[in-house]
C-alpha cells in the first residue's frame, strides 16, 4: 500500500496505485516521504535479494540485507496483503516521530522475521531456491493460518467427482484474436484511430473519487491527469521520453517505466497482441462474470506473464490477469473490462474494475472521443518553473 506513487500500468490506461489511494488513508498519509518510491511496477524478471548498488532500504534489515527502498516496500505490501493486516500489526508508531519501522518492539515483527527465514529455508530445501512458498501460501489473507481442512459445502460436487474438461474443442488462437478484432470493429477501424480523449473518474471505494483525464495520439503519445486530494498527478509520454508530474513538479520516468508506458500507450494495442507477447497460448474455458470466456496465456520476452479472457460469444476482452514478481513471490493484478460501447466505429470499455492485493478500484468513463485534434505539446514534459 505504500508502494509506488507513480501509478502502475494496467490495461488501456494507467492504474492509480494502491499507494496513491492510500494517500488519503490514515496509515498511508503518515508515512515518511522517503517511502514514496519513484518507480512503478516490480521488474518482471526475478529480482535478486541482495543487490546493493543503491542505498539499503532500511536501518535494521536482517533478512533483506541491502535490499533497496522499492524492494522493501514491495515486500511489506506483499506481507501485509498475505496476512490481511496493516503495518501497525508489526510496526510501532510514535505520536511525535511517526512510524519507527526499524524498531523491533512488536512480537509479530520478530515472528515475521522468523517466518521469512523459514519460508526461505523451505524454498531452498524443497523448491530449488525459487520463491514458491511464501507468506500467502499458508496465511492466505489471515493473520493466523488455519490448520483445519475446510468444511464441506452443501450441494457442492464431491471431491473426486468428474470435472468438465475445460480444454475440449477449443478454438485456435487465430480464431480468438480474429473474433476479437472483428468484435472491436475490424482491423482497419482499430488501426485507423488517430487520437483519443477520455474523461472519467476513479473510485477507490470509501467515497474517494478522483477525476481522470486521458489524451492519446497515434502511435503512442499519451498523457493522463488524475486529480488527487493532494493535487494533480500527471503521467506523460511524448513518443520518446516518459515523465511524471506531481503537484506541478515534473521529473523523467525511469527506463523501465518508459518501456511500460510506451507499450500501454499504444493506441492500436488490440491489433498488436501478437507483437506485445512473445508467446500466446490458448489455455481453456473459464467463466468471467457468468459468461463463458476463452483464456489465452501471454508471455513477454522479459518473462512477465498475463492471462487474457475473451468472451466466447461477443469475442471481446473481458478480463486480464497480470503477474508480477516480488522478492517474496508472485503477486497479481486483475482488470475486468465492462460496458463496451462503440466510439467512431471502435468498441471500447467504459468501465474497468481493477484489483491488486492492496486495493480495488472502479474506473468509469463518462466521455470518450476519437479523431478530435490534440496538440502535441500536451505530451511534452512541462519545463521547470523558474
Using CB under 6 A, list all residues that contact ligand HEC: 1-2, 58-64, 72, 76-77, 79-80, 83, 85, 87, 89-91, 101-102, 108-109, 111-113, 115-116, 119, 133-135, 137-139, 143-145
The grid coordinates of residue 96 equal: 511525535
| Nearest distance, CB of residue 119 and ligand HEC, angstroms | 5
Q: Which CB, 108 or 213, lies closer to ligand HEC?
A: 108
H or E element at residue 19: helix 18-22
H or E element at residue 310: strand 305-311
| Nearest distance, CB of residue 160 and ligand HEC, angstroms | 26
| Nearest distance, CB of residue 319 and ligand HEC, angstroms | 27
Q: Which CB, 145 or 248, lies closer to ligand HEC?
A: 145
d(C-alpha 278, C-alpha 267), whole Å:
19
| Nearest distance, CB of residue 268 and ligand HEC, angstroms | 38
| Nearest distance, CB of residue 245 and ligand HEC, angstroms | 25
Alpha carbon distance, N-terminus to C-terminus of the chain: 34
Pairing relationship of beta strands 13-15 and 330-343 according to DSSP bridges: unpaired
Q: Provide φ and ψ at 95, rounded to 5°.
A: -50, -45
Q: Which CB, 37 or 225, lies closer to ligand HEC?
A: 37
* DSSP string of 192-227, one letter each residue: T--EEEEEEEEE-STT-EEEEEEEEETTTEEEEEEE
Q: Which CB, 97 or 163, lies closer to ligand HEC?
A: 97
d(C-alpha 185, C-alpha 348), whole Å:
10
Q: Which CB, 114 or 230, lies closer to ligand HEC?
A: 114
Amino acid at each position: 500500500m505504500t508502494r509506488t506513487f507513480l501509478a502502475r500500468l494496467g490495461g488501456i490506461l494507467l492504474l492509480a496505485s494502491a499507494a496513491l489511494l492510500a494517500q488519503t488513508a490514515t496509515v498511508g498519509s503518515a508515512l515518511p516521504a522517503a517511502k514514496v518510491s519513484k518507480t512503478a511496477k516490480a521488474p518482471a524478471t526475478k529480482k535478486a535479494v541482495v543487490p546493493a548498488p543503491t542505498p539499503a532500504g532500511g536501518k535494521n534489515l536482517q533478512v533483506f540485507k541491502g535490499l533497496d527502498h522499492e524492494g522493501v516496500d514491495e515486500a511489506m505490501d506483499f506481507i501485509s496483503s498475505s496476512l490481511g493486516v496493516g503495518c501497525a500489526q508489526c510496526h510501532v508508531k510514535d505520536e511525535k516521530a511517526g512510524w519507527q519501522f526499524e524498531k523491533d518492539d512488536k512480537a509479530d515483527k520478530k515472528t515475521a522475521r522468523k517466518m521469512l527465514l523459514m519460508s526461505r529455508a523451505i524454498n531452498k530445501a524443497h523448491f530449488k531456491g525459487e520463491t514458491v512458498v511464501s507468506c500467502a501460501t499458508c496465511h492466505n489473507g489471515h493473520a493466523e493460518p488455519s490448520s483445519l481442512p475446510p468444511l464441506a459445502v452443501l450441494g457442492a460436487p464431491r471431491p473426486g467427482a468428474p470435472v468438465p474438461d475445460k480444454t475440449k474443442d477449443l478454438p485456435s488462437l487465430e480464431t480468438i484474436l480474429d473474433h476479437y478484432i472483428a468484435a472491436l470493429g475490424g482491423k482497419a477501424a482499430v488501426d485507423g484511430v488517430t487520437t483519443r480523449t477520455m474523461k472519467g473518474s476513479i473510485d477507490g471505494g470509501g467515497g474517494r473519487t478522483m477525476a481522470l483525464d486521458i489524451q492519446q495520439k497515434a502511435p503512442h503519445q499519451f498523457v493522463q491527469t488524475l486529480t488527487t486530494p493532494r493535487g494533480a498527478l500527471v503521467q506523460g509520454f511524448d513518443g520518446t521520453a516518459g515523465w511524471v508530474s506531481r503537484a506541478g513538479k515534473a521529473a523523467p520516468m525511469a527506463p523501465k517505466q518508459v518501456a511500460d508506458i510506451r507499450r500501454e500507450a499504444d493506441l492500436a494495442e488490440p491489433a498488436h497482441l501478437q507483437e506485445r507477447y512473445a508467446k500466446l497460448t490458448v489455455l481453456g474455458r473459464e467463466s468471467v462474470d457468468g459468461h463463458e470466456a476463452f483464456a489465452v496465456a501471454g508471455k513477454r520476452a522479459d518473462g512477465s506473464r498475463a492471462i487474457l479472457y475473451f468472451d466466447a460469444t461477443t469475442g471481446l476482452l473481458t478480463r486480464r490477469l497480470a503477474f508480477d514478481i516480488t522478492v517474496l513471490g508472485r503477486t497479481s493484478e486483475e482488470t475486468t473490462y465492462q460496458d463496451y460501447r462503440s466510439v467512431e466505429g471502435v468498441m471500447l470499455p467504459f468501465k474497468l474494475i481493477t484489483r491488486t492485493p492492496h486495493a480495488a478500484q472502479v474506473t468509469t468513463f463518462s466521455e470518450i472521443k476519437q479523431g478530435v485534434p490534440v496538440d502535441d505539446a500536451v505530451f511534452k514534459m512541462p519545463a521547470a518553473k523558474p
